[in-house]
């Protein structure tokens, strides 16, 4: 019964995420960059604000709790990249927008609905579950909004930068894991997520497993870019065909 309530609640969050992204994305599609960016600014403020509240409440009970809540999880990278996309300029903003697009949807789906064993450790409406559901939904919203509103750049020269961003989190995450016994970026084990498949496949190897996780990140990034480029090419061909037909 608890699992049913949990999944219903998080599915509702996903539905609201999609509706808001579609409505605001379409409304602002023809607006200037400043208007479009206001939505991202609010997304950045809200996602970091909710997370800070959760950390503050956790540390009130256990002052050392923050060591387990650093923004080094795959989903919590958006706590940094959404503000970066909202407040930076130029190439940095382009790369950040790409990164939010690529990992926002993944984080929303796997973080809100398929969150593994984490959500089952707490009551459905606990502060940890509620805030985690909200922040993951905001991440997914930002991703969809960027795509629908036309803010995404998704340029080929941003692919190495996107790889660099993921590595900039993987390296410190691995070091913190070794020092503090955490599992940031799922580099130590799967923790009830689909990464368990890889963990079991390599027999829990402390070398092959983290390397495999990073490789999967790279494959996912490359696949996302290729799908995006393919869809854009199809749309261009249809538009060209329609214009030639009118002529």
Radius of gyration in angstroms for the set of CA atoms belonging to the chain, rounded to a whole number: 19
Assess contact for 54 and 118: CB atoms under 8 A.
no
pLDDT given for residue 122 in this prediction: 55
pLDDT given for residue 119 in this prediction: 53
Residue that wins the pLDDT comparison between 21 and 1:
21
CA–CA gap between residue 180 and residue 87 (Å, rounded)? 32
DSSP 3-state assignment of 118?
coil
pLDDT given for residue 113 in this prediction: 54
Q: What is the residue whose two structure tokens read 């969150």? A: 115
Assess contact for 18 and 109: CB atoms under 8 A.
no
Q: Is the pLDDT of residue 112 over 70?
A: no
- Residue 2 Cα distances to 39, 45, 127, 192, 193, angstroms: 34, 31, 16, 18, 19
Assess contact for 141 and 135: CB atoms under 8 A.
no
Residue pLDDT, tens place only, 162-204: 899 999 999 999 999 999 889 999 999 988 778 899 999 999 9
Residue that wins the pLDDT comparison between 37 and 67:
37
32 burial level (CB within 10 Å; 0-12, 13-18, 19+): exposed
pLDDT given for residue 67 in this prediction: 83
Residue that wins the pLDDT comparison between 36 and 114:
36
Mean pLDDT to the nearest integer, 76-102: 90
pLDDT given for residue 97 in this prediction: 92
pLDDT given for residue 116 in this prediction: 43
Assess contact for 188 and 210: CB atoms under 8 A.
yes
Buried b (16+ CB within 10 A) or exposed e, 85-103: bbeeeeeebbbbbbbbbbb
Half-sphere exposure of 59 (CA within 13 A, CB side): 13
pTM for this one? 0.84
Residue pLDDT, tens place only, 114-165: 554 455 555 556 677 778 878 888 998 999 999 999 898 888 888 888 899 9
Q: Is the pLDDT of residue 21 over 70?
A: yes
The per-residue pLDDT of the chain, averaged, comes to 85
Structure tokens at 36: 């479009």
pLDDT given for residue 117 in this prediction: 45
pLDDT given for residue 243 in this prediction: 75
CA–CA gap between residue 124 and residue 73 (Å, rounded)? 21
């Amino acid at each position: 019964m608890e699992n049913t309530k949990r999944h219903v609640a998080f599915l509702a969050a996903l539905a609201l995420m999609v509706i808001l992204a579609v409505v605001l994305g379409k409304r602002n599609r023809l607006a200037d960059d400043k208007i479009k960016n206001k939505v991202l600014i609010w997304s950045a403020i809200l996602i970091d604000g909710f997370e800070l509240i959760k950390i503050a409440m956790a540390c009130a009970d256990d002052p050392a709790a923050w060591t387990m809540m650093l923004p080094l999880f795959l989903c919590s990278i958006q706590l940094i990249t959404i503000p970066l996309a909202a407040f930076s300029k130029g190439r940095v903003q382009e790369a950040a927008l790409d990164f939010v697009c690529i990992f926002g949807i993944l984080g929303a789906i796997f973080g809100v609905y398929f969150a593994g064993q984490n959500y089952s450790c707490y009551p459905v409406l606990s502060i940890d579950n509620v805030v985690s559901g909200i922040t993951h939904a905001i991440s997914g919203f930002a991703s969809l909004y960027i795509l629908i509103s036309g803010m995404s750049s998704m340029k080929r020269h941003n692919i190495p930068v996107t790889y660099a961003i993921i590595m900039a989190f993987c390296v410190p995450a691995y070091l913190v894991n070794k020092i503090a016994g955490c599992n940031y970026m799922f580099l130590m084990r799967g923790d009830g997520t689909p990464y368990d498949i890889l963990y079991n496949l390599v027999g829990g190897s402390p070398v092959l497993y983290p390397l495999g996780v990073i490789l999967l990140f790279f494959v996912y990034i490359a696949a996302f870019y290729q799908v995006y480029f393919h869809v854009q090419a199809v749309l261009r061909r249809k538009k060209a065909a329609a214009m030639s037909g009118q002529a």
